[in-house]
């Protein structure tokens, strides 16, 4: 539904957190036709979770729920990359029955998608500030990956 390039979405996909030595679970692990994975984190919808209602230096700033979810997503991406081929093999084996024959999962440079909040209650200024924040996050991410 999100994007037609994906063949499958696995719910609560495990990823090994080698720093804390425990398993983490991604809400949805999306797999494309080449076996590359992306991740989706979904938060329960509620009002006022994206940007502040009041301003700080004339800006509506991201709220804790959004910044926390962004950090959670970044850690999932970090752990997927850090565990490398070992994790790719484990995930491929775990989901082999649901994948096309011979397709192996690849955790190289996964993208993250966050689904949260409602924009119907945001003012025009809040929407503009959120759009600017989202663009700067994407730009920063591109710069870091360069």
131 vs 141: CA distance, rounded Å: 15
Taking only Cα atoms into account, the Rg of the chain, rounded to an integer number of angstroms, comes to 17
**For the chain, domain boundaries:** 6-141
List the chain pLDDT tens, one digit each, 146 residues: 556 889 999 999 998 888 899 999 999 999 999 999 999 998 876 666 677 778 888 888 787 888 888 899 999 999 998 877 888 999 999 999 999 999 999 998 899 988 877 666 777 777 777 777 666 666 555 555 55
Could you tell me if 39 and 77 are in contact, meaning their C-beta atoms sit under 8 angstroms apart? Answer: yes
Q: What does each C-alpha distance from 137 to 84, 116, 125, 131 come to in angstroms?
A: 25, 16, 18, 10
Q: Report pTM.
A: 0.77
Other beta carbons less than 10 A from residue 72's beta carbon: 17
C-alpha 35, offset from chain centre: 17
Q: How many other β-carbons are positioned within 10 Å of the β-carbon of residue 34? A: 11
User: Is residue 79 classed as helix, strand or coil in its secondary structure?
Assistant: helix
Note the pLDDT of residue 103.
Answer: 94
């Amino acid at each position: 539904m999100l994007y037609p390039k994906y063949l499958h979405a696995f719910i609560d996909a495990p990823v090994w957190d080698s720093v804390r030595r425990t398993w983490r679970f991604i809400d949805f692990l999306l797999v494309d036709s080449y076996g590359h994975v992306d991740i989706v984190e979904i938060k329960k919808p509620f009002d006022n979770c994206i940007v502040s209602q009041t301003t700080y230096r004339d800006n509506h700033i991201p709220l804790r729920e959004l910044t926390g979810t962004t950090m959670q997503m970044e850690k999932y991406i970090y752990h997927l990359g850090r565990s490398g081929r070992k994790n790719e093999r484990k995930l491929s084996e775990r989901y082999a029955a649901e994948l096309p024959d011979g397709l192996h999962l690849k955790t190289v440079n996964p993208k993250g998608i966050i689904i949260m909040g409602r924009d119907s209650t945001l003012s025009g200024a809040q929407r503009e500030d959120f759009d600017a924040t989202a663009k700067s996050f994407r730009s920063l991410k591109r710069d870091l990956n360069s």
